[in-house]
Copies of this chain bind each other. A is one copy, B any other.
Amino acid sequence: MAAHRISDAVIRRLPGYYRYLRDLEKVGVTRISSQELGARMGLTASQIRQDINCFGTLGQQGYGYNVPELRAHIGEILGLAHGYEMVIAGAGNIGQAVAWYPGFSQRGFHVSALFDVKPDLIGRVIRGVPVYNITEMRAFLREHPAKIGVVATPARVAQTVAHQMIEGGVRALWNFAPMDLKVPEGVVASNVHLTDSLLVLTYRLQRLEEENSAPSNEPAP
């Protein structure tokens, strides 16, 4: 059991390790060196070794890492050893994108229901997932417990919807509404702000254009 305290920076990189190792496993790669893995992921070999050392000594000098073992171990740390039931509030574009995202079922996530307020959506079954009235969400959760709740509603109702999910037994909230959810102790929330990654992109675009337009005083690297 990985009960080590892992730093936030390493935790943020873990899903990336999981993705890369999964892709390697898919194409039949069974072992990889820290150099090779680093080159693929855009990290240095020493960074890779340092990160992986945080959660146990899994590499061997001169052999590298066993890909399926390391992938399984990271999956366990990420809590993917058991599956998760998930409900989604808001059956708009974001809610539907999450519901049908193929990567989720592959990682053991199962969407049991979507909830919305729109009469033309309620009662439909879209790609196997039923859409119910949001007023039925708490009752549904009593019958069909789910640990993960996705909030894909307008911002003005997101906090209320989150509270209803928590009352229904949801312990982890994945929020796409453009605001930060407040949650009580014993519940975790992740607020996804799509614009944030766009603004980091425009930052880098602007730096790039400044570099290109500035007269170069430095020798070329």
- Chain A residues packing against B (C-beta within 8 Å): 1, 3, 11-12, 14-16, 18-19, 77-80, 84, 92-94, 96-98, 100-104, 107, 109, 147-148, 171-172, 174, 178, 186, 188-190, 192-206, 208-210, 212
Contacts and interface: CB of A to CB of B under 8 A. Distances in A.
A209 B107 CA distance: 20
Contacts of A3: 210
How many copies, total?
2
Interface of A is mostly: helix
Output the residue of A97, A210, A212 with the most chain B CB within 10 A.
Answer: A97
Contacts of A96: 93
A52 to B, nearest CB: 16
Contact of A78 (B77, B98, B171, B203): B203
Contacts of A16: 193, 196
Contacts of A206: 78-79
